[in-house]
Amino acid sequence: MTIEATILKNVEKLPDSVKQAVLLYTEFLVSQYANGKPEEAQEKPKKKRFAGSMKGTFVLPLPDDFDEPLEDFKDYM
């Protein structure tokens, strides 16, 4: 079954009020596509991140024993 046939089959099952909403939505999609501005093209390209870009942003006072094993895990070591 083609996608068009599946869509039509599903739309036939809907009440008239929902069919009206489907019509409005499909007209919106067609107008967006006809204007050459589909939603995918409107998204801004994501900026590429690079390693070390946050260096120096988070400065926390770390305790002196930060690298020492935790007491809770001594049974497993």
What sign does the CA torsion over 30, 33, 37, 39 have? Answer: positive
How far, in Å, CA of 29 to CA of 22, rounded? Answer: 10
Return averaged pLDDT per consecutive 10 residues of the chain, 77 residues in all: 92 94 92 72 74 80 83 83
- The pTM of this model reads 0.44
Tell me which DSSP letter residue 20 carries.
H
Q: Which pLDDT belongs to residue 53?
A: 83
How far, in Å, CA of 22 to CA of 24, rounded? Answer: 5
